[in-house]
Structure 1
Amino acid sequence: MLREALGPELYEAVLAIRRAEAELFAMFTDADVIEAVRRRC
């Protein structure tokens, strides 16, 4: 559904960003990420 809405190029770009984010934050626990977001707001 998202691929159809965005088109193949934009969908692949979004997917690449999400994969990079997953790799970047893989070393952190869910609690670490939640705490970082809370401090940012």
Structure 2
Amino acid sequence: MLWEALGPELYEAVLAVHRAEAELFPMFTDAEVIEAVHWQY
């Protein structure tokens, strides 16, 4: 559904950002990373 709303290029960009965030914060749970960056964008 998100892919359909954003289109392939923007979807891939969003996915790349979230993957980079996950790599930067490996010691935190997914929920903790989401909470930390939720209002960043």
Which stretches in structure 2 are left out of the alignment for 5+ residues? Answer: 37-41
Instruction: Decide which structure has greater helix share.
Output: 1
How many residues align? The count is 32
Q: Which runs of 4+ in 1 moved over 4 A?
A: none
TM-score normalised per structure 1: 0.65
Aligned counterparts, 1:19-30, within 5 A = 19-27=19-27, 29-30=28-29
Greater RCO (CA < 8 Å, at least 6 residues apart): 2
Cα-Cα RMSD: 2.0
TM-score normalised per structure 2: 0.65
Structure having the higher Rg: 1
Which stretches in structure 1 are left out of the alignment for 5+ residues? Answer: none
Which SS does the other structure have where 1:26 is aligned?
A: coil
